[in-house]
Amino acid sequence: LEIMADHGRIIFTGSTHHQYGNCDLDDLQSLTCHANRRPYNNSKFMLLMFCMELQRRLVDSTIISVAAHPGFTATNILTSTKGKQIGFFKQKCFG
């Protein structure tokens, strides 16, 4: 934290799948039920809870804790890439 003391950011990669997750303290590793996207959903839910708790603890510092969903984050990735990359991103993002 000392290295980040001058307006540092801790950024977590989120997902809208957090809304389908929960925190099963008796099965944190999803050993009893590894069906569908349950482990992924739970991990994104717990990551968001950790991010929020970390921000709560950092409230009196210049460091911030944030979560961002890469699909909803405004970037210039489609306009800044050239050649093959632009086709790849267009295909992945827009089918």
As a dihedral over the C-alpha atoms of residue 85, residue 91, residue 92, residue 94, rounded to 10 degrees, the angle is 130
| CA dihedral sign, ordered 57, 59, 60, 65 | positive
The answer to whether 90 touches 78, Cβ cutoff 8 Å, is: yes
Which range among 29-38, 53-62, 80-89 has the greatest average pLDDT?
53-62
pLDDT attached to residue 2: 80
pLDDT in tens, 18-27: 888 887 778 7
- The model's pTM is 0.66
As a dihedral over the C-alpha atoms of residue 44, residue 58, residue 10, residue 92, rounded to 10 degrees, the angle is 40
pLDDT in tens, 67-91: 887 766 666 655 665 555 555 555 5
